[in-house]
Amino acid sequence: MYIVGKKSDKTVIETSGIYHTGNPPVSAILGNVIKKYGGNESDYSVYFVPDNASQEKILHGAWYDVIWTGFNTTAKITAVDFARDFSRKKIKVTADNTLVMMGENVTFTGEVLNNDGTLDTKYDGTNIVTIGTPDGTLRIRVHFNNGKCIHVFTPSRYGFYSIPYNTVYEEDFKVDTQLVFEVAYDAVNELDT
């Protein structure tokens, strides 16, 4: 995995995926960057993220800053810093039932947690939460009041659902607890007729 930064304003302009067979050469990376953004090789810094743990964090959406040394043409990225990610709030989702029949309601509760796991009673806001459904993903808007939201959801298909869909990050939150529930098909009524 590599990160490309623009020296003039010290901004990150590209982050690659993880290369399991080795990173491409710097000349190839900079050739593509110059085609896309213009300039010349001395305008950019390429940093190879050295450890798998940091690569996985970046790949899954961790907040990070790059550390620069030098100025102007001598500037280069020398490290990544995840300090901002440690201050990120967490989201925890629970439900009144993890097995419901198709057409029944499931009530789920979302909680915004501080880093120490306590409820953030000062958090008020409207957020988008992505639900994994048997048909793909569904984005819903929920409102948190004093760090909590309660939402009644009526699934229209049987199968497994997950809230939030991503197990690591959801919007600006880290995922503390993902809810997985099953919607079953109720064949009892059909057998009675």
Q: Does the structure show a pLDDT above 70 at 191? A: no
Alpha-carbon distances, residue 57 vs 68, 80, 192 (angstroms): 20, 11, 53
Mean pLDDT of 122-149: 94
Q: Which domain holds residue 7?
A: 2-85
In this structure, the answer to whether residues 58 and 106 fall within a common structural domain is no
pLDDT confidence of residue 76: 94
Q: 109 with 174, same domain?
A: yes
pTM, entire model = 0.66
The CATH number of the domain holding residue 95 is: 2.60.40.1930
Length of the chain: 193
Count other Cβ atoms within 10 Å, centred on residue 142: 16
Q: Tens digit of pLDDT for each residue in 54-99?
A: 998 898 888 899 999 988 888 999 999 998 888 889 999 999 999 9
Q: Are residues 76 and 119 in the same domain?
A: no
